[in-house]
Amino acid sequence: MSPSGRELARAGALLAGLALLAAGCGIPLSPAAELSRTPPNLYSQVPKGTTPTTVPNTTKHVRIGIYFLNASETRLVETVALVEPPATPAGALDLLTYGPTAADFEAGYSTALSVQPQATVGVRVNKRTGVATVALDNTFNNLFGTPLYDALAQIVYTLTDPGLGVRAVQFTQDDIAYPAELPSGSFAYRPVTRADYASLAPLPRPRPPGHLPARP
**Domain assignment present for 126:** yes
- pTM of the entire structure? 0.70
Residue 216: pLDDT above 90? Answer: no
**Domain assignment present for 158:** yes
206 vs 5 pLDDT, higher one = 206
- What are the E-state strand segments in the chain? 62-69, 76-83, 121-126, 131-136, 168-173, 176-177, 180-181, 187-188
Question: 181, 148 in Cβ contact below 8 A?
Answer: yes
Residue 128: pLDDT above 80? Answer: yes
Residue 176: pLDDT above 70? Answer: yes
**Domain assignment present for 182:** yes
What would the mean pLDDT of 2-14 be, rounded to a whole number?
Answer: 45
**Domain assignment present for 205:** no
Q: What pLDDT does residue 126 have?
A: 97
**Domain assignment present for 22:** no
Beta bridge partners of 171: 134
Q: Which domain holds residue 83?
A: 38-200
Residue 53: pLDDT above 80? Answer: no
The total of structural domains in the chain comes to 1
Rounded Cα distance between 178 and 79, Å, is 27
Q: pLDDT (tens digit, 9 = 90+) per residue, 20-45? A: 434 444 434 333 333 333 343 444 43
Q: What pLDDT does residue 60 have?
A: 85
**Domain assignment present for 174:** yes
Q: What is the DSSP string of 148-208?
A: HHHHHHHHHHHHTSTTS--SEEEEEETTEE--EE-TTS-EE-S-B-GGGGGGGPPPS-PPP
**Domain assignment present for 74:** yes
Rounded Cα distance between 96 and 110, Å, is 11
**Domain assignment present for 209:** no
What would the mean pLDDT of 195-204 be, rounded to a whole number?
Answer: 94
Rounded Cα distance between 197 and 206, Å, is 21
* Predicted confidence band of residue 206 (pLDDT cuts 50, 70, 90): low
The distance from CA 137 to its chain's CA centroid, rounded to whole angstroms, is 16
Q: pLDDT (tens digit, 9 = 90+) per residue, 64-122? A: 999 999 999 999 999 999 999 999 999 999 999 999 999 999 999 999 999 999 999 99
